[in-house]
Amino acid sequence: MQILVKNKDTLLYDEFEFKCCVGKNGISDKKKEGDNKTPKGTYGLGPVFYRKDRLHEFFTKVKKVEIKKNMGWCDDTNSKFYNKLIKTHKKVKHEKLFRKDKNYDILIPIKYNYTRPKKNKGSAIFIHLTNNYKKTHGCIAIKKKDMIILLKLINKNTKIKIL
């Protein structure tokens, strides 16, 4: 089974249909760092990252990783850690995972530009939470109740196809 993002506001998995939002500038097969576009294509998924202090126990067959205060995702195109999970420090530009807003209370990295990241091709592309379906910087966002359902359905072999 795979997750299907068939347009800018619908995410499908099996018979489940969820409202979602994507990048402010839509979906593109020419993704670049900072362009606010969601990358078109089929990708694997990483482990589920979550804020233990904000979530009760939830079920998933996917590996879970608790988000700590010092965790970030490198979006510094000059760093050897580009598009990788890092321990945060001021020398490397990054996306903080431990945030005041609730958008990253649960997130799943999409393995776009992941194994051998190419500089400026895009980084920190996640499925994460939203309260208002406001367009993202390139991620896919869904409501928390929908994410909890999705987490019960997926497994480590699940892919996401973004059309």
CATH number of the domain residue 7 falls in: 2.40.440.10
What band does 87 get if pLDDT is binned at 50, 70 and 90?
very high
Say how many domains are in the chain. 1
Residue 89 pLDDT > 80, yes or no?
no
Domain that holds residue 122: 2-162
C-beta neighbour count of 1 within 10 angstroms: 11
What is the distance between the alpha carbons of residues 56 and 69, in angstroms, rounded to a whole number? 18
Counts of helices then strands in the chain (DSSP H, E) = 1, 15
C-beta neighbour count of 147 within 10 angstroms: 24
What is the distance between the alpha carbons of residues 69 and 48, in angstroms, rounded to a whole number? 16
Task: Using DSSP, state whether 68 is helix, strand or coil.
Answer: coil
Q: Phi and psi of 116, rounded to 5°? A: -125, 80
Q: Is the pTM of this model over 0.85?
A: yes
Give percent of the chain above pLDDT 90: 93
Q: Which residues contact 89 (CB under 8 A, 6 or more apart)?
A: none
What is the distance between the alpha carbons of residues 31 and 134, in angstroms, rounded to a whole number? 20
Residue 57 pLDDT > 90, yes or no?
no
